[in-house]
Amino acid sequence: MNHFELKSVAGTGATTLHVEDVPLQEIAEQFQTPCYVYSEAAMASAFRGYQQALAGRDAMVCYAVKANSNIGLLSVFAKLGAGFDIVSGGELARVIAAGGDASKVVFSGVGKTRQEMRDAIATGIFCFNVESAAELDRLSEVALSLNKRAPIALRVNPDVDPKTHPYISTGLKCNKFGVAIAQARELYQHAASLKGLEIRGVACHIGSQLLDPAPLAEAAQKVLNLVEQLNADGITLSHIDLGGGLGIRYRDETPPTYADYLGPLLKVMAGRKEKLLFEPGRSLVGNAGVLLTRIEYLKPGEEKSFAVVDAAMNDLARPALYDAWHDIDAVTPRAGATASYEIVGPICESGDFLGHDRLLVLEEGDLLAIRSAGAYGMTMSSNYNTRPRAAEVLVHGKHVFQIREREKVADLFARERVPQP
């Protein structure tokens, strides 16, 4: 089901883009722009997609908080029964504030501090996904200082090529994440000797925006071989975490369905009694959000015409950072001949674009919806050029909830000081 659709405006021949039952036009009037707008139904339907594909298996879906960490969104997943994959103490605090269940939290990341470890142990998280030998030692020491044992999985690098963008592929030998699968057996032995650790599982995450199920199944097979070696060594695991990474359609990609994506992997895991964990981020929220922006100026040029909008790379970094494509639609499409526009923001950088060469019929003041902006949009935003961060709004049917206020300029330098002589 499409949760962002053109629907007709009562009493006119015009159509305008709605999020569920709410016209984006109304949201722009009420909350101004730029504004992130999310569909609760879209998130719930993506989450249920995973649940259905995993029906009958002992499995836990842990939403990857870094994709979008607004506590309003987290609360939606908490109510659906999700677990959470976090990468910092800050994200743990958000999960708790959103009503999430700490006992369903997995903690990933290569740089966990002692304080983050203490807090996570005290909160009673499900598992630490440990990314190095040094982290095993530190975690054991921290747990013992609290008279506790920390539950762990070792994040291994199965060395499969996920065939995605090099910046978002993580499962190859040559990157900073996890430990080489060839060293894992030895490290588990070491972990078993540490009094502050309780070995629970194994984890991997091979990359992001994956469109092919084969690399995941290949990784699962390699992880399973390791699990069997560990069994032979007398180390039994109760769960296998296969990370996140399912891709979404930004432009013309055709991502597999949940069932097609998980099918080959579930085949590999057939008959295994370990609980399966997944850590999807993008596929749960990416297409559940748009960035709503208004055109400030049209700037016709000889070679290129520009539409200067009030959103910029500080709001949505993906185009500038990865040269990523996001569909851009007029909220209320006009009739007439299209022209090609560069959709750019007001930031003083040539890289500040949101879309190149878009065929649209535009006038100053028109609203645009930048699609597929629910994941790695707001969480990667910044205050570059002293731009207050956007408001965020969650739609549920005909209900609209503001889940983040727009920042005020004074907020941005409230912690700065002019030195007093």
Interacting residues with ligand PLP (CB under 6 A): 64, 66-67, 85, 108, 205, 208, 243-245, 279-283, 375
Quote the least distance from Cβ 87 to ligand PLP, whole Å: 6
Nearer to ligand PLP, 27 or 67 (CB): 67
Nearer to ligand PLP, 369 or 375 (CB): 375
Nearer to ligand PLP, 205 or 404 (CB): 205
Burial (CB count <10 Å: 0-12, 13-18, 19+), residue 46: buried
Task: Report the relative pairing of strands 339-344 and 305-309 from DSSP bridges.
Answer: parallel
Quote the least distance from Cβ 380 to ligand PLP, whole Å: 12
- Give the relative orientation of helices 114-123 and 133-145 as an angle to the nearest 10 degrees: 60
Catalytic residue check, 127: no
Quote the least distance from Cβ 330 to ligand PLP, whole Å: 28
Nearer to ligand PLP, 108 or 293 (CB): 108
Contact, 291 vs 377, CB < 8 A? yes
Nearer to ligand PLP, 34 or 280 (CB): 280
Spatial distance between the Cα atoms of 346 and 313, rounded to a whole number of angstroms: 9
Nearer to ligand PLP, 69 or 283 (CB): 283
Q: Which residues contact 237 (CB under 8 A, 6 or more apart)?
A: 153, 199, 200, 201, 202, 227, 230, 274
Tokens of 10: 């009562």
Tokens of 75: 């609360």
Distances (CA, A) of 292 to 38, 327, 370, 396: 10, 12, 6, 17
Catalytic entry in 35, 174, 204, 348: 348
DSSP 8-state class, residue 53: H
> Does 255 sit behind a cis peptide bond, omega within 30 degrees of 0 on the bond before it?
no
Quote the least distance from Cβ 129 to ligand PLP, whole Å: 7
Spatial distance between the Cα atoms of 319 and 326, rounded to a whole number of angstroms: 8
Contact, 105 vs 62, CB < 8 A? yes
Which residues are annotated as catalytic?
A: 348
